[in-house]
Structure 1
Amino acid sequence: MALTVLTVDDSRTMRDMLKHSLVAAGFRVLQAEDGLDGLEVLKTEKPDVVVTDINMPRLDGFGFIEAVRSDAERRTMPVLVLTTEADPDKKSRAKAAGATGWIVKPFDPVKLVDAIRRVAA
Structure 2
Amino acid sequence: MPTHKILVIDDSKVIRMRVKDMLPEGNFDVIEAKDGLEGFNLIRTENPNLIMLDFLLPKMSGWEVYQEIQKQQKYRSIPLVLMSGRKEEVTDKLPEPFEYFAFVEKPFDREQLVDAIRDSMVKAKKQPQGLSTGLSEESSSPPSADIAAVTSEVKALKLKVAKLEQESEQLKRQFNQLVSFIKQKFK
Higher helix share goes to which structure? 2
Name 2:90's counterpart in structure 1. Answer: 90
Deviation string 1:38-77 (CA, Å, 9 cap, x unpaired) is 1111122111211111111111110011111112321222
Q: 1:2, CA displacement in angstroms?
A: 4.1
Aligned-residue sequence identity (percent) comes to 28
Mean Cα displacement is larger for which, 58-67 or 111-120?
111-120
**Letter aligned with residue 81 of structure 1:** L
Q: Aligned pair in 2 of structure 1 residues 58, 69: CA closer, same or farther (>3 Å)?
A: same
Task: Tell me the SS of whatever aligns to 2:59.
Answer: coil
Residue equivalent to 1:30: 31
| Alpha-carbon distance between aligned partners in 1 of 2:38 and 2:118, rounded to the nearest angstrom | 24
2:69 aligned with 1:68: yes
Unaligned stretches of 5+ residues in structure 2: 123-187
Classify the secondary structure of the residue corresponding to 1:106: coil
Give the distance between the partners of 2:66 and 2:39, measured in 1 at CA. 10
Deviation at 1:92, TM superposition (A): 4.8
Distance 1:108 1:101 in 2: 15
Q: Secondary structure at the match of 1:65?
A: helix
Bigger share in strand: 1
List alignment gaps of at least 5 residues for structure 1. Answer: none
Shift in Å at residue 120 of structure 1?
Answer: 2.5
What stretches of structure 1 move > 6 A for 4+ residues in a row? none
CA distance in structure 1 between the partners assigned to 2:42 and 2:76 by the alignment: 16
TM-score (norm 1): 0.83
State the secondary structure of the residue aligned to 1:40. Answer: helix
User: TM-score, structure 2 length as denominator?
Assistant: 0.56
Q: CA RMSD in A?
A: 2.3
Q: Does 1:18 align with 2:32?
A: no
Highest relative contact order (Cα 8 Å, sep 6+), 1 or 2? 1
- Identify the residue that residue 121 of structure 2 maps to in structure 1: 120
